[in-house]
């Protein structure tokens, strides 16, 4: 991490590419529901 007064630069190690269907970006007001099934956590965000 290096920085100046007006900005900060973060450097991350390169990682393996991931399929685009494993990535999402959304903005806005959302409600969240959390459940567990078969020992695995699941979070569902909805408007």
pLDDT, tens digit (0-9, with 9 covering 90-100), for 1-47: 566 678 888 999 999 988 888 878 888 999 999 999 999 999 988 88
Whether 29 maps to a domain, the answer reads yes
How far is CA 5 from each of CA 2, 8, 12, 14, 27, rounded to the nearest angstrom?
10, 8, 21, 27, 28
Tally of structural domains, the chain? 1
**Cβ contact 1:9 at 8 Å:** yes
- Is residue 41 helix, strand or coil? strand
Whether 39 maps to a domain, the answer reads yes
| Cα torsion angle, 17, 18, 19, 23, sign | negative
- For residue 46, the enclosing domain spans 18-47
- Is residue 22 helix, strand or coil? helix
Whether 6 maps to a domain, the answer reads no
Specify the pTM.
0.37
């Amino acid at each position: 991490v290096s920085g100046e007064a007006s900005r900060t630069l973060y450097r991350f190690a390169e990682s393996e590419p991931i399929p685009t269907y494993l990535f999402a970006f959304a903005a806005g007001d959302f409600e969240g529901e959390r459940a567990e099934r078969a020992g695995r956590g699941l979070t569902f965000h909805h408007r």
